Amino acid sequence: MARVKLDEIDRRILANLQRSGRMTNVRLAQLVGISPPPCLRRVRALEKAGYIHGYHADLDAGRLGYGVLVFAQVGLHSQAEQDLVAFEERARSWPMVRECYMLAGETDFILKVVARDWDAYQTWLTGELTAAPNVDHVKSALAIRTSKHEPGVPLAGAGAEAEND
């Protein structure tokens, strides 16, 4: 990894890109107070060092027909490393599973699942998830509404300018 210690300009670059990954390098350079060539070099260095994993569009699931969001708490029969890895691989293969986290405690994994409707979720739950090898139990929690959706990490003190493009 090329860069380890972040300075204030790096933090401002990260904060602005986290807020709006589509902005041009010229606009980003203006916002962080440096010229475009060194700004681009810094962005490339941050990417190479692993601070930036990628860029994506934040899509509206409801407008695309995915009206149900469920958090599925999964308990496994075995927590042996090969069984945990096998479950993670299977979770990556399910398109409806958008996020998968291994947890410490009573629940082994929590899955963030989107579905077109409750029936589609139940069909997937009984046909795929509970039928998967090593799955002992599943507890489903239907999300009623999203009160906050803010991807990324808090970069307090980064001095990011508000970008309203």
Which residue range is the domain that position 107 belongs to? 68-142
Positions of E strands within the chain: 68-76, 97-102, 109-115, 135-142
Answer whether residue 99 shows pLDDT above 70: yes
42/99 same-domain check: no
40/93 same-domain check: no
pLDDT band of residue 157 (cuts 50, 70, 90) is low
Q: What is the mean pLDDT of residues 85-103?
A: 98
pLDDT band of residue 155 (cuts 50, 70, 90) is confident
Task: Say whether 162 sits in a helix, a strand or coil.
Answer: coil
What is the residue whose two structure tokens read 């569009």? Answer: 57
Q: What is the mean pLDDT of the chain?
A: 92
Number of domains in the chain: 2
133/72 same-domain check: yes
pLDDT band of residue 1 (cuts 50, 70, 90) is very low
Is residue 116 within 8 A of residue 65, CB to CB? The reply is yes
74/137 same-domain check: yes
* Residue of 14, 129, 152 lying closest to 70 (CA atoms): 129
Tell me, what CATH number does 134's domain have? 3.30.70.920
In-domain check, residue 1: no
